[in-house]
């Protein structure tokens, strides 16, 4: 195991393709970007990650270990990840691109608009929101009390935010905090779509604990940790896909959500099958078959991926 983390070389483009091929080839996918961190002794693990989600299943796609001591990622990091995503995913497969406040940046927004990607992001309240209108050239600077007068929030269309034209929603979130949302979706739909960002938060919670326990690793080397994330993510994908296959057996709570996550259900199923190796082999074979079927369909629609994909 030590030799693997020290010497093995992983092709992370191929790993991204593998995760991409777990999703049915006809589905549109959300791309969600976020950053997570934790401390182990003097070592600080700071991960910038992009995940794919069809709102039922969320899987990792690309990740980078940052060395900036808990600081935010920079525009170069983000644009590099987006380029990698667009090298694999056809634009028509992308439903939307979403992120939180630390990813609000004019160069970043301009890059997404240039690539004709549907996006929305939460932006810090200090960002200038200008009425893009000759007769209403005012800057919205304070909105702390706007929610009292407008409980459903305020929608602004075709406004200039840090030099980029888009749509804006101003209101309050479920936690009572001020919510500034910006994107190229209709302004009235921004709060609804913003909820999709929480798919990556749930993914981080599952990966760092809940049976996968990435957070308790003693690795303190970024290259080794990047490999470990790949291994744990593959296990997570297998468990989640297994749990999804058995999702009808998971009871719903009063709020309508499942009482157990797909990943947790998958772990329980696989644990029960450890003593029945033949059935476990069949389950693995079924998982691999799904990936291969989806991969062939994806290749048929993309000449570019013929060169990148190895089946």
> For residue range 144-168, what is the model confidence (pLDDT) as tens digits?
555 566 777 788 888 888 788 889 8
Res 275 pLDDT > 90: no
The better pLDDT of the pair 183, 306 is held by 183
Give pLDDT tens digits for 167-207.
Answer: 988 877 776 677 888 998 898 888 888 888 888 888 888 88
Instruction: Report the alpha-carbon distance of residue 22 to residue 295 in Å, rounded.
Output: 8
Res 292 pLDDT > 80: yes
pLDDT of 136 reads 38
Terminal alpha carbon distance of the chain? 26
Which residue in 194, 174, 180, 187 sits closest to 124, CA to CA?
Answer: 180
Widest CA span of the chain, in angstroms?
74
Q: Are 64 and 162 in contact (CB under 8 A)?
A: no
Instruction: Report the alpha-carbon distance of residue 232 to residue 179 in Å, rounded.
Output: 34
Which residue in 172, 175, 194 sits closest to 183, CA to CA?
Answer: 194
- Pairing between strand 164-172 and 154-161? antiparallel
Q: Are 96 and 193 in contact (CB under 8 A)?
A: yes
Backbone angle region of 213, left / alpha / beta, with phi > 0 → left and psi within -120 to 50 → alpha: left
Structure pTM?
A: 0.81
**Where does residue 134 rank: exposed (0-12), middle (13-18), buried (19+ CB within 10 A)?**
exposed
The vertex-86 CA angle with 85 and 91, nearest 5°, equals 120
The residue count for the chain:
311
Instruction: Report the alpha-carbon distance of residue 119 to residue 17 in Å, rounded.
Output: 22
pLDDT of 135 reads 42
Instruction: Report the alpha-carbon distance of residue 124 to residue 133 in Å, rounded.
Output: 23
Res 137 pLDDT > 50: no
Q: Are 179 and 152 in contact (CB under 8 A)?
A: no
Give pLDDT tens digits for 71-108.
Answer: 666 777 777 877 888 888 887 888 889 988 877 778 87
């Amino acid at each position: 195991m030590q030799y693997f983390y020290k010497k093995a070389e992983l092709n992370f483009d191929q790993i991204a393709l593998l995760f991409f091929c777990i999703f049915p080839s006809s589905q549109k996918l959300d791309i969600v970007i976020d950053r997570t961190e934790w401390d182990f002794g003097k070592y600080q693990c700071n991960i910038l990650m992009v995940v794919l989600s069809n709102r039922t299943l969320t899987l990792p796609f690309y990740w980078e270990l940052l060395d900036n001591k808990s600081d935010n990622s920079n525009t170069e990091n983000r644009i590099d990840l987006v380029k990698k995503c667009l090298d694999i995913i056809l634009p028509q497969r992308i439903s939307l691109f979403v992120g939180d406040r630390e990813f609000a940046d004019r160069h970043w927004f301009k890059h997404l608009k240039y690539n004709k990607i549907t996006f929305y992001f939460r932006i810090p309240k200090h960002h200038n929101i200008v009425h893009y209108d000759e007769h209403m050239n005012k800057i919205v600077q304070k909105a702390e009390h706007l929610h009292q007068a407008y409980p459903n929030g305020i929608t602004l269309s075709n406004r200039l935010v840090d030099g980029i034209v888009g749509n804006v929603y101003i209101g309050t979130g479920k936690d009572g905090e001020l919510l500034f949302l910006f994107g190229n979706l209709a302004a009235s739909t921004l709060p609804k779509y913003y909820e999709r960002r929480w798919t990556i938060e749930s993914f981080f919670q599952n990966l760092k604990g809940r049976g996968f326990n990435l957070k308790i690793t003693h690795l303190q080397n970024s290259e080794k940790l990047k490999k470990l994330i790949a291994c744990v993510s593959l296990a997570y994908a297998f468990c989640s896909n297994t749990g999804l296959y058995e999702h009808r057996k998971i009871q719903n709570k009063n709020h309508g959500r499942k009482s157990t996550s797909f990943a947790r259900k998958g772990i329980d199923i696989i644990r029960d099958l450890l003593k029945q190796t033949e059935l476990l082999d069949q389950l693995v074979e079924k998982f691999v078959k799904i990936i291969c079927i989806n991969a062939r369909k994806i290749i048929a629609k993309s000449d570019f991926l013929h060169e990148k994909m190895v089946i």
